[in-house]
A and B are shown apart, each in its own frame.
Chain A
Amino acid sequence: MDQPFDLVVIWAGIIGFAVMMYVLMDGFDLGQGILYPFAPDDHSRDIMMNSVAPVWDGNETWLVLGGAGLLAAFPLVYSVFLPALYIGVFLMLAGLIFRGVAFEFRFKANTTKYLWDWAFAGGSFVAAFAQGAVVGAYVQGFETSNFVYVGGALDWLTPFTVITGLGLVAGYALLGSTWLIMKTEGELQQWAYKITPILLIAVLVVFGIVSLYTPFVDQGVLNRWFNGVSIIWLLPVLALYCAFLVFRSVKKQQEGMPFVATMGLFLFTYLGLLASKWPYLVPPDYTLWDAASAYESQLFLLLGFLFVIPFVLGYIAWSYYIFRGKVRGGYH
């Protein structure tokens, strides 16, 4: 076919960007839910929820945008991942619904407040775990035949995906605690300083397990990383440097740096994962180009996305700008 651009690569960039945005942004607000039961007191919980209330639904925009974009641009991902992760997808959606509704109704409730607290914490944990398991399932690969998933209902649930699931729970909690360091003060901030190194260690342990495990289950990954030193080795090095920055900045009681460095840790880990699997989008068999939809379909939607994404980015930037500074609790 004679196409002026390879839209597949452009779409890979757009979806990749949307997924990264989602993980970073919904990560810190899911993290509030995960940390919720461990918070020092009820007043802290109020502040934690307030610290993400104005932005959380905008953050989830990226999940829906990424999901719809996948169906349009890479339908094979949509039609293999969703059946393969059937139960996991349900749990994630149920989790997201519960925590979403908790945001709305907790502030309207008086006597039933504790119920919404549980919905918020439980929903956040389940959603985060399911998303981590998706990452693990992607690393494992899917049993397909002729572009159709042929594995079982719970193939995705293995010790490895449980570890990646818990890993992402810890990761989101880390984003959440460093967000609190940046956005709060006093007792709650001190608590966040205290738990951040513990969460970071948990994340690094999972990081290590995944890094060691991946090359041994996938010959392609092994060759990519161990056939001589290449530029991609920079990615894990940068990720570890970011982890070091988190440690150091927490020790120095810096406020913004822990969150920024945690985002860096996520970004370089994510890029490292993509570098391992590139160009396989539905491993082990199908590449980006196998999974892509027709050129004219990708083009038709691209026109709309190019128009709307700047608005979405602008809106997000504006709402974070409005919401800058420290969050204080209660009514005033």
Chain B
Amino acid sequence: MELDPLILSRIQFAFVVCFHAIFPVFTIGLASFIAVLEALSLKTGNPVWQRLSKFWIQVFAVVFGMGVVSGIVMSFQFGTNWSNFSYATANFLGPVLSYEVVTAFFLEAAFLGVLLFGRDKVPQGVHLFAAIMVALGTFISSFWILAANSLMHTPDGLVLRDGLYYVVSWRDSIFNPSFGYRFTHMALASFLTASFVVAGVTAWFIMQKRELEANKKALSISLWLILILAPAQVMVGDFHGLNTLKHQPMKVAAMEGNWETGTGVPLLLFALPDQENQQNLFEIKVPKLASFILTHDWNGEVPGLNEVAPEEQPPVFIVFWAFRVMVAMGMLMVLFGLAGLWLRRGGRYLENRTFLNGLRVMSLSPFIAVLSGWIVTETGRAPWLIYEQMTHAQGLTPSLTGGMALFTLIGYIAVYAMVFSAGVFYLMTVFRGGLETANAEHVDSDVEKAQRPISAANANLEGGL
């Protein structure tokens, strides 16, 4: 069998980026949550806020560490597997990605150490300031990354000369047409991720009757956040979709499973897209609803996949279903927000075991939603690497063979499997230890005074203090 370096490189990139994405999407939201806890602690002087903060800072430290490790691989993949793309876009991509690195280091150098290890060494106000700066830093990092990504969807502010892109306007290229929507959508996704993880872990603590005073407060906060953020995310997602319709109509056509341009297009609840025959099997549909959602007119015209040649269409099945998974997760999140509100009367949300168990399961939902959302937007751009300007095939490293790509794909899967199963295993130990372990007197060994992220956590790898 002939190994295709293109498809293998795409799988490898997807694997590594999906693996990486789950860590920052959590830490970005968690950093803000910690800043809020620190602010409440300073304002009220109630010790439970600090107990909560100490625990979640340790969780943050472990997840942040894993994010950094998996992120390093990302920065090299652009060169190893997509060298033509990197070379052509380096005038833009280079400075933007470097600014991300520089921001991250600046943040780590100045504030992360204070947040993780400085509680007893600096005044409380300074510690709060460090927490806010770490939260801000995570946003600035994602700002640069999403600017680079958005440019691939909606290129602007660049000019192509002799196969190389040159920046004409930094403002237009960074704040390109899809950037604002993508950034807002991701920021809300991060907040929702942190809210649901906090809610899920806290629900578990409450069911075990552990540290009730503190954990009740944490659950209450996270449920209010979910109640507000989940519907807000649905709205922002809708705006993002309309922006995509304007700039990348074929992506939306694939999301809707709409093969032919038409008016009064139905919304498909279920279908099996059959790309070969350019049709759907087993459709279950709501008449005219897609037209209404996308154009706000029951008989509005919606572009279909037949506007481009079949080889310029994205893989419809993947985009169609990833989109439905994301939306389903979003709807579940809204439901849980409303259920939390309903159960609040008389404090039933602290007692109802079905609800609490549901929250535990739902702590996975934001990760599923985020990954499927990224699959929609990235796969939906296919076959383009830079929309309508450079295809995946054109961006690939010319000297790359299928064998080389397969070697590293298997290699990365093996390395990540080993390293991250240890990481996740350790994270579970930190969860099991809970607020009690995180707040216990901990005798530091020499090396644990070393200011590395994971050394901020108290638990042992195999459990215990």
Q: Is the CB of B447 within 8 A of A82?
A: no
With A53-B447, A65-B101, A69-B98 as contacts: A79 and B90 at CB distance below 8 Å: yes
How far, in angstroms, from A258 to B302 measured CA to CA in the complex? 74
With A65-B105, A300-B95 as contacts: A332 and B446 at CB distance below 8 Å: yes
- B3 to chain A minimum Cβ distance, whole angstroms, is 13
Q: Is the CB of B447 within 8 A of A71?
A: no
A329 neighbours in B (Cβ, 8 Å): 446
How far, in angstroms, from A83 to B87 measured CA to CA in the complex? 12
How far, in angstroms, from A98 to B418 measured CA to CA in the complex? 9
- A310 to chain B minimum Cβ distance, whole angstroms, is 10
Does A293 count as interface, using CB distance less than 8 angstroms?
Answer: yes
B interface size (C-beta, 8 A): 65
Taken residue by residue from 413 to 431, chain B's Cβ proximity to chain A (1 for < 8 Å, 0 otherwise) reads as 0010001001100100000
Partner of A67, one of B76, B446, B451: B76
Q: Is the CB of A76 within 8 A of B87?
A: yes
Q: Is the CB of A293 within 8 A of B90?
A: yes
Main DSSP-derived SS at the A contact region: helix
B178 neighbours in A (Cβ, 8 Å): none
Q: Is the CB of A72 within 8 A of B399?
A: no
A100 neighbours in B (Cβ, 8 Å): 69
Taken residue by residue from 302 to 332, chain A's Cβ proximity to chain B (1 for < 8 Å, 0 otherwise) reads as 0011001001101100010000000111111
Does B300 count as interface, using CB distance less than 8 angstroms?
Answer: no
How far, in angstroms, from A302 to B35 measured CA to CA in the complex? 32
B69 neighbours in A (Cβ, 8 Å): 97, 100-101
Q: Is the CB of B87 within 8 A of A72?
A: no
- A104 to chain B minimum Cβ distance, whole angstroms, is 4
Q: Is the CB of B97 within 8 A of A112?
A: no
With A57-B452, A86-B404, A300-B95 as contacts: A109 and B80 at CB distance below 8 Å: no
How far, in angstroms, from A189 to B401 measured CA to CA in the complex? 48
How far, in angstroms, from A87 to B69 measured CA to CA in the complex? 19
- B357 to chain A minimum Cβ distance, whole angstroms, is 30
Residue among A49, A80, A294, A304 facing the most chain B CB atoms (10 A cut-off): A294
How far, in angstroms, from A194 to B93 measured CA to CA in the complex? 49
A75 neighbours in B (Cβ, 8 Å): 86-87, 90-91, 94
Q: Is the CB of A312 within 8 A of B105?
A: yes
Residue among A72, A112, A311 facing the most chain B CB atoms (10 A cut-off): A72
Does B207 count as interface, using CB distance less than 8 angstroms?
Answer: no
Mark out the residues of chain B between 77 and 117 whose CB falls within 8 Å of any chain A CB in the assembled complex. 78-80, 83-84, 86-87, 90-95, 97-102, 105-106, 109-110
Does A108 count as interface, using CB distance less than 8 angstroms?
Answer: yes
B75 neighbours in A (Cβ, 8 Å): 64, 67-68
Does A73 count as interface, using CB distance less than 8 angstroms?
Answer: yes
- A199 to chain B minimum Cβ distance, whole angstroms, is 25
Q: Is the CB of A331 within 8 A of B445?
A: yes
| CB closest residue in chain A, given B102 | A308
Does A209 count as interface, using CB distance less than 8 angstroms?
Answer: no
Partner of A53, one of B403, B411, B452, B460: B452
Q: Is the CB of A109 within 8 A of B460?
A: yes
With A97-B69, A294-B91, A297-B92 as contacts: A83 and B397 at CB distance below 8 Å: yes
B453 neighbours in A (Cβ, 8 Å): 104
Mark out the residues of chain A between 34 and 89 whose CB falls within 8 Å of any chain B CB in the assembled complex. 49-50, 53-54, 57, 61, 64-65, 67-69, 71-73, 75-76, 78-84, 86-87, 89
Q: Which residues of B contact A (CB under 8 A)?
A: 65, 69, 72-73, 75-76, 78-80, 83-84, 86-87, 90-95, 97-102, 105-106, 109-110, 166-167, 170, 397-401, 403-404, 407-408, 411-412, 415, 419, 422-423, 426, 443, 445-455, 457, 459-462
**Can you show 15 pairs from A to B with CB atoms below 8 A apart?**
A53-B447, A54-B449, A54-B452, A67-B75, A68-B94, A71-B97, A75-B86, A90-B412, A97-B419, A108-B461, A112-B461, A149-B83, A150-B398, A293-B90, A296-B167
Closest 8 CB pairs of A and B: A72-B94, A75-B90, A82-B79, A54-B450, A79-B87, A315-B109, A108-B461, A79-B83
